[in-house]
Amino acid sequence: MEQQERTFRIGPIRPPSEANSLLLQVTNGCTWNKCKFCQLYRHTKFKAYSADSIKADIDNIAYQADIIRRYQTPLGAWDIDGLNQELGQIPSEEERQCFYMVANWLVGGGENVFLQDGNTTALSSGRLSDVLIYLKQAFPGIKRITSYGRAENLSRVSAEEYAELKEAGLDRIHSGFETGSDAVLQKINKGVTQQQEITAGKNIKAGGIELSVYFMPGVGGKELTKENAEGTSHVINEIGPDFLRIRTAAVKPGTGLYEDYQNGQLTLCSDEEKLLEIRTVIERAPEIDTRVVSDHIINLLQGVEGHIVLDRQKMLDMIDGYLNKPEYEKRLYQAARRMALVNGPGDMKYLDQSRVDQIESLIRAIPDPYEWEEKMNALIGRYI
């Protein structure tokens, strides 16, 4: 008799902060799927999985976990060689991937779970609560369950419903606001308004769930750079999210924004303009308990992070330190960063001379400032 495969669905994306989390797919695709900067789900029809289907995946994860725990000693150490041998005996590539994910999760502590895909809160609160309770019963050691959520959907959930989801086990929601400006939201076809973002954020916070908001400096182009900064500042100040995550805008071929760029309807922001947008948001924040997080390679100054009030001056000084450099030094660092050669300005002194020569050659070849920014945009597009 053929043995049943113990697989479960795994979606395509998760936040960098969920790198060691167990991934549990409860929806597939995006309910909106029309944002001009995104092409991830263009050919994927949205689907919300039934509670029974998701529970079946949880059962298969639990089955894999029972096997994996046999390779843990009473003192907590793991027999990695034994796990690798067990993995090698699994005939199906899909099942091996599932086994590897669960093993990696458990060896790393088995504490955090991320619910995929792009808008898991499209599930009814009742269905999502049912799944959360079942998941925590299967794995009582879970400490944090996190999800993506689209602001338009999130705004239709009451604070009371969020409190119920919190009670069931949902601890944090990530939401790609991208901007707080109505003009920019319309330009990128986000399908949401500033007021809906504020309503969503306030309800989530009132329900006791952590909120992680994403901001895209530069996404409105030169035409709306002021509006992008000021609108986002307003939304952040109204909500006071737990986290403000920076995701520098990149205009990629195949997206609606790229078409706008080619048609002359969008002018690329320079990296300096993007930094000035970030600076505005940080500088204007009142006494809110929000942490700025710059956890993506696409950001020029990844060291600009910290508590938006307590670390404000440190972050502003870092931005100003870059902006006040001579143009040549800025370009040298900019190219090195966009080529993934350095993590921050302090790494430049360790850059191999051959790399410096390569970048200097590039600087000489592209003297025009706007053509230079086009080149930098093309480089960062590789990372998303």
Over residues 10-29, the pLDDT tens digits come to 998 898 899 999 999 999 99
Q: What is the pLDDT of residues 231-275, one digit of tens each?
A: 999 999 999 999 999 999 999 999 999 999 999 999 999 999 999
pLDDT above 70 as % of the chain: 99
What's the chain's average pLDDT? Answer: 96
Residue 1: pLDDT above 50?
no
Q: What is the mean pLDDT of residues 356-368?
A: 98
User: Distance between CA atoms of 348 and 343, rounded to whole angstroms?
Assistant: 9
pLDDT at 168: 98
Whether residue 1 is contained in a domain is answered as no
Q: What is the pLDDT of residue 199?
A: 99
> Is 381 found in the same domain as 272?
no
pLDDT tops 80 at residue 224: yes
The backbone torsions φ and ψ at residue 278, rounded to the nearest 5 degrees and listed phi first, read -60, -40
Does residue 2 have a pLDDT over 80? no
Q: Is 262 helix (H, G, I), strand (E, B) or coil?
A: helix
Domain count, the chain: 2
Q: Is 8 among the domain residues?
A: no
- Give the DSSP per-residue string, 322-338: HHTS-HHHHHHHHHHHH
| Per-residue confidence (pLDDT) for residue 3, from 0 to 100 | 58
**The last residue of a domain, from among 277, 293, 325:** 325
For residue 160, pLDDT over 70 is answered with yes
**What is residue 4's predicted lDDT score, i.e. its pLDDT?**
73
| Tokens representing residue 1 in the block | 């008799």
Q: Is residue 347 part of a domain?
A: yes
Structural domain for 231, as ranges: 16-325
User: Could you give the count of Cα atoms lying within 13 Å of 148 in the half-sphere of its Cβ?
Assistant: 26
Q: Which residue has the tokens 């998941």?
A: 135
| 262 class by beta-carbon count within 10 Å (0-12 exposed, 13-18 middle, 19+ buried) | exposed
Q: What is the mean pLDDT of residues 50-67?
A: 97
Whether residue 75 is found in the same domain as residue 85: yes
Note whether 212 and 333 are same-domain residues. no
Strand partners, 72: 78
| Inside any domain, residue 11 | no
pLDDT tens digits, residue range 302-351? 999 999 999 999 999 999 999 999 999 999 999 999 999 999 999 999 99
How confident is the model at residue 185, as a pLDDT?
Answer: 99
How much is the pLDDT for 107?
97
Asked whether residue 2 is assigned to any structural domain, the reply reads no
Exposed, middle or buried by CB within 10 Å (0-12, 13-18, 19+), for 220? buried
Report the alpha-carbon distance of residue 267 to residue 255 in Å, rounded: 15
Q: Is residue 196 in a domain?
A: yes
Task: Mark whether 287 and 379 lie in a shared domain.
Answer: no
What is the model's pLDDT at position 361?
A: 98
Q: How far, in Å, CA of 202 to CA of 213, rounded? A: 12
User: Sign of the C-alpha dihedral, residues 103, 107, 110, 111?
Assistant: negative
